[in-house]
């Protein structure tokens, strides 16, 4: 396959080539167990992915969605720090490498040296295979290393650390130790979790620890002060559109050509960034002659903005703005 940068299309094609021939019944059974774990609240001290069939099912079930969620978080980092690019990257609990695929394509002209750490050797093995099949130099050059993802994990200094869909597998004390270790090792830390109330709670916990370690929030929040959401009343999450391949639809039992991945995330850095003035925290409501935007703002408040036709260009911009975007758009007055 000829490719220079990762994309959702390259990932789907690579997955299809590697997983073609996986018995559908076996895949479906493995997916059911993985979904139960993904949605559950019981942490474990053992790898979730036990063998190649588990890993293959996981790759088909989760890699495209994880890729899109992490890519969205990385887009927010690039917007907040347009002049920064990582030279080195560590993917903690990276499994088959979805986050590493996203990092490899996030900075045009840059190919960070990636190290993927995971405690499941079958996941690392399949990740290596996918990287090799991709034909993408940055992925093929990645180092895939077995490591226990826990309180005793040692991380070498690096520019960027990603921790995606990992914290839900860990106990609270181990989660805290892992985030502290990442904060001490990296210039930028990106943490992504499911867009559920529990996932958001883990992100807030990680956010607090990153700030306590001396980092500042670059995204999605416009500030590093306390989250204005009252605990238990709501949760901050976003959505990424994921195109499904026929294989993906078959394994997940879906019929639509796409799905929407809900996720929560935080990006924190040790270098200066330019956080947004405000971010759209829900899907915009487009009504006749007006657009309603739910915003998290730099003054630490949640508010709803009503943009009407009398706002001219700003109204036209509001009709095009998406959930998770900054507001107002660059060059527009609020």
Domain residue ranges in the chain: 8-269, 278-327
Cβ-based neighbours of 79, under 8 Å, separated by 6 or more:
219, 276, 326
DSSP 3-state of 5: coil
Give me the phi and psi of 115, to 5 degrees please.
Answer: -120, 125
Q: What is the pTM of this model?
A: 0.89
What's the CA gap between 100 and 266, in Å, rounded? 17
DSSP label of 206 = H
Cα atoms found within 13 Å of the Cα of residue 282, Cβ hemisphere only = 14
Which two structure tokens, joined as six digits, stand for 99?
A: 């986050």
Tell me, which fold does domain 8-269 have in CATH?
A: Rossmann fold (3.40.50)
Q: How far is CA 132 from CA 7, 116, 139, 166, 322, in A?
A: 15, 14, 7, 24, 35
Q: How far is CA 181 from CA 143, 203, 209, 268, in A?
A: 20, 16, 10, 14
Which two structure tokens, joined as six digits, stand for 274?
A: 């330019």
Evaluate the CA torsion angle 177, 162, 83, 262 in order and state its sign.
negative
Beta-bridge partners for 264 = 193
Phi-psi region of 190 (alpha: psi -120 to 50; beta: other; left: phi over 0): beta
pLDDT in tens, the chain (334 residues): 334 556 788 888 888 776 666 666 666 666 666 666 555 555 555 555 566 766 777 787 789 999 999 999 999 999 999 999 999 999 999 999 999 999 998 998 888 999 999 998 888 999 999 999 888 999 999 999 999 998 889 999 999 999 999 999 899 999 999 999 999 999 999 999 999 999 999 999 999 999 999 999 999 999 999 999 998 899 999 999 987 766 556 655 666 777 899 999 999 999 999 999 999 999 999 999 999 999 999 987 899 999 999 999 999 999 999 999 999 988 766 5
Strands 113-118 and 88-92: parallel
Residue pair 117/90 in contact (Cβ under 8 Å)? The answer is yes
Strands 88-92 and 158-164: parallel
């Amino acid at each position: 396959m000829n490719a220079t940068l990762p994309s959702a299309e390259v990932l789907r094609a690579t997955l299809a080539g590697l997983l073609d021939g996986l018995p559908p019944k076996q895949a479906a059974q493995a997916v059911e167990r993985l979904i139960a774990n993904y949605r559950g609240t019981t942490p474990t001290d053992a790898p979730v992915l036990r063998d190649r069939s588990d890993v293959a099912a996981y790759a088909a079930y989760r890699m495209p969605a994880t890729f899109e969620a992490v890519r969205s978080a990385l887009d927010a980092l690039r917007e907040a720090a347009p002049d920064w690019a990582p030279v080195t990257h560590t993917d903690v609990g990276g499994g088959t490498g979805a986050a590493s695929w996203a990092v490899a394509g996030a900075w045009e002209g840059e190919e960070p040296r990636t190290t993927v750490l995971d405690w499941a050797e079958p996941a690392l093995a399949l990740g290596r295979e996918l990287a090799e099949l991709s034909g993408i130099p940055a992925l093929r050059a990645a180092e895939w290393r077995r490591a226990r993802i826990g309180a005793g994990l040692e991380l070498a200094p690096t520019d960027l650390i990603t921790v995606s869909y990992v914290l839900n597998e860990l106990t609270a004390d181990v989660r805290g130790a892992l985030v502290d270790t990442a904060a001490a090792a990296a210039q930028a830390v990106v943490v992504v979790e499911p867009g559920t109330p529990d996932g958001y709670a883990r992100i807030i916990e990680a956010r607090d620890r990153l700030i306590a370690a001396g980092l500042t929030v670059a995204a999605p929040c416009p500030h590093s002060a306390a989250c204005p959401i009252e605990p238990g009343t709501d949760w901050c999450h976003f959505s990424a559109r994921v195109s499904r391949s026929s294989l993906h639809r078959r394994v997940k039992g879906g019929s639509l050509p796409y799905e929407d991945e809900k996720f929560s995330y935080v990006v924190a850095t040790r270098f200066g960034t330019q956080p947004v003035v405000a971010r759209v925290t829900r899907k915009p409501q487009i009504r006749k002659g007006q657009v309603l935007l739910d915003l998290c703002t730099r003054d630490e408040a949640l508010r709803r903005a009503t943009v009407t036709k009398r706002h001219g260009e700003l109204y036209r911009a509001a009709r095009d703005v998406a959930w998770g975007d900054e507001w107002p758009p660059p060059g527009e007055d609020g």
